[in-house]
Amino acid sequence: MALSPLDLAHAAGVTVRAPARLHLGFLDLGGAVGRRFGSLGMAIDRPATEVTVKRADADAESGPDAARAARARDAVRAALGVTQAFTVAVDSALPAHNGLGSGTQLALAVGVSVARLSGHPLSAREVATLLGRGRRSAIGMEAFETGGAILDGGKAMTTSTGDGAAAAGPGAPPPLLARLPVPEAWRILLVYDRAREGLSGDAEMKAMATLPPFPPERAAHFCHLVLLKALPALAVGDAKAFGAVIGEWQRGLGDHYAAAQGGARFLSADVAAAIAVLEGDGVPGVGQSSWGPTGFAIVGDAAEAEALLETLRQRFASSTNLFFDCVRGNNRGAEFVAL
């Protein structure tokens, strides 16, 4: 982040730019191998949430998702016992329910700003806990904090640590296990379906509760793939090897989620068709972020990615609901500019 937590204590306001994130998958949905969930994700440079929070004589909010931004302001202020009024202007918001972490990034942009303008140097993780964010995954808060590719450790199946010490409570976000920079040469192709929205809220909770049992052997295999194949490949910048793991993992998860997605691996059939073109062109690291509908493809070379982007735009020119973009990883996290 551009500013230390204390830099905002006497500022009139702050503008925050928070990156979107891709959620690449859960390792163990049922906790069969010791902890539940566990996830890998990465921050991306575009699209982004941009919010301006200012001290004021009276509360006001404006812009897309203004009501949700106001709820975050009010919740953090109440939790900290702050009486100062703030205006919140959402200059740009991530597409809601698209698998990009829109709710978490907006809540953290507003919540961290309110906390720090009020003299409370809270981290994104601390604010997320106040707001009830990160109950299954820490990818969003860690993407906000410093960006990069992130692996979290999921949720303990018990509150006992085994040594007599108290573990983090059930509402605490999962611990950060690893953070690696997204290689500068890599590009991520994004496939949007503007006619669809992914599951969220109560619908997401119901879907998670009705999924079939997650086989222990599949969870163990995914853990092995991520720890001993994906992360080493990421560390040395091998996009093909990293992508091969992500593709296999996504296919397994897509089959598991199919019952909640109309019987298919992808929520959007149009996104699935575009992803199939990329796979046919030899890109192994493809999938759907979270509940979608946004699809992604990880490419190790900028020129190759731009050529594939043009192929998609030409091939699906008549599919006006589809939108394509080519973006970089974000290794900085949210950026703060004091006013």
Q: What is the pTM of this model?
A: 0.92
Does pLDDT of 86 surpass 50?
yes
With 0-12 / 13-18 / 19 or more C-beta atoms within 10 angstroms meaning exposed / middle / buried, residue 186 is buried
Please measure the distance between the N-terminal and C-terminal CA atoms of the chain and give it in whole angstroms: 16
Q: In the chain, what percentage of residues exceed pLDDT 70?
A: 94
Whether the CB-CB separation of 98 and 197 falls below 8 Å is answered with yes
Domain segments of the chain: what residues?
Answer: 5-338
Q: Say how far apart CA 157 and CA 106 lie, in whole Å.
A: 29
| Per-residue model confidence (pLDDT) at position 158 | 65
**Tens-place pLDDT, residues 266-319:** 999 999 999 999 999 999 999 999 999 999 999 999 999 999 999 999 999 999
Name the fold adopted by 5-338. Ribosomal Protein S5; domain 2 (3.30.230)
